[in-house]
Amino acid sequence: MVRILLIVIYVLASATIGSLAGIMQTLPIGIASGFISFLLLCQIDGAVLRRRFVRQQKKEIAGLKKSGAVVQKALAETQARMDAVGKAMEARSHAQNKKIVSELQVLESLMKEFASKISDKARHEAGGRPAGVPADLESVAEPELLEMIRASLEENRVDLYLQPTVSLPQRKVRFYEALSRLRSESGSVIMPAQYIKIAAPAGLMSVVDNLLLFRCVQIVRRLMNKNRGIGVFCNISGDTLRDAEFFPQFLDYMQHNRDLAGQIVFEFAQDAVLRAGRSGEANLKALNALGFALSMDNIKTLALDYSKLKNTGFSYLKVRADMLTKGMNAAGASVAAEDFKNLLSRHGLNLIAERVEDEKTVVQLLDYAVDFAQGYLFGEPRAVRGETIKEIDKPSAPVIPLRRSA
């Protein structure tokens, strides 16, 4: 407060210095000298205050410059880290692509090896006749069809088809089932119902499963880059499940692809599971121990040990829609269709109704609290092409859910 007062006095003194000069001449010498000393003290104190202010300003400016340098350094370090992360992600992506290419080459080699092993046998059973390609495959004799199947496998004419499985009542795609189709040299499609009954006795199903498995791995890896919320059901035959030579290789292959455990579900027909035996059950448990969920389809009887299924590793049961709506008794079910979902839920199993083809069936399934459905009503199997992946990546069109009947 005193300093402020002194400053005010100094200012006033400076402003009236001219007037004071005249007054000073009229004052006694003692009073004049005291007044002059007072003015000098004011000047000195003002100078000290100015120097302190300047030093404070310089200090604050230096602090701001130092802070700016720290921020600049932090920004540079952050940018360097972002560049490093970008390069690491690019390198990882490149390495992943190389892994996929490598896996493709390995599987193609395995496929050719399998095909060569059964080639002579298949030709012998075909009687050495060339594979004719009539327009109607139903009219092809079994030996000729076997030769067509062998040639399709040997030349890698195995296509992957995907059919959606949706949630109810939203009808949002949650899974795809991967299905295999063979192509003859002329382009005719050989359906599973046509080739399995002939390929299985000839020992060719391991080759088909090999190719289907690798295509599933490929498609899942592509889907993971777009939508990790969609899984793929991959069918494995009973012959492969019981194959003492192939299945250990299959397990080893999936061991190296455990990162896909949340996206791939391995599906086995009911008959294959019931006839699996101890070795087959051990194979199922080993596959589940790697983190992969299991599914059962082609169900003919519902008189099952559901606790055992869960303990073996099963998480999904695919039941035909018509079995749920009008065939529960014939299938040996212990409960009504309305209670079947609750029965499965108590054992940690999910119910998928398959072969759904009309809206009336959907209404009935909603009455049974079915969570998932699959069938031509929601989408038929489509061959996997580049545009198919783009369609999968698109969000599902909104659908007004059907109301359950009262």
Taking the CB of residue 95, how many other CB atoms lie within 10 A of it? 10
Does the 159-393 domain belong in CATH 3.20.10.10? no
Question: In the structure encoding, which two tokens stand for residue 98, read together?
Answer: 């190389």
State residue 184's pLDDT score: 85
Tell me the one-letter amino acid at 261: A
pLDDT of residue 73: 78
Token couple for 5: 């007062």
- Pull the structure tokens for residue 227: 């939508």
pTM value is 0.66
What pLDDT digit, counting tens, does each position of 372-382 carry?
999 999 999 99
pLDDT at 151: 86
- pLDDT confidence of residue 398: 33
Mean pLDDT by 10 residues, the chain (406 residues): 50 52 57 63 69 74 74 76 72 56 52 52 45 53 84 84 95 93 85 84 82 83 78 90 87 90 94 92 95 96 95 96 94 94 96 96 96 95 68 41 33
Residue 401: the pLDDT is 34
Nearest by Cα to 317 from 180, 162, 161, 165: 165
Map out the domains of the chain as residue ranges. Answer: 1-17+31-100, 159-393
pLDDT at 129: 39
d(CA 262, CA 38): 90
Sign of CA dihedral 282, 374, 176, 261: negative
Dump pLDDT digits (tens) for 315-356.
Answer: 999 999 999 999 999 999 999 999 999 999 999 999 999 999
**Exposed / middle / buried, residue 56 (Cβ in 10 Å: 0-12, 13-18, 19+):** exposed
* Residue 319 confidence (pLDDT): 97
Regarding beta strands 372-374 and 350-354, do their DSSP bridges make them parallel or antiparallel, or are they unpaired? parallel
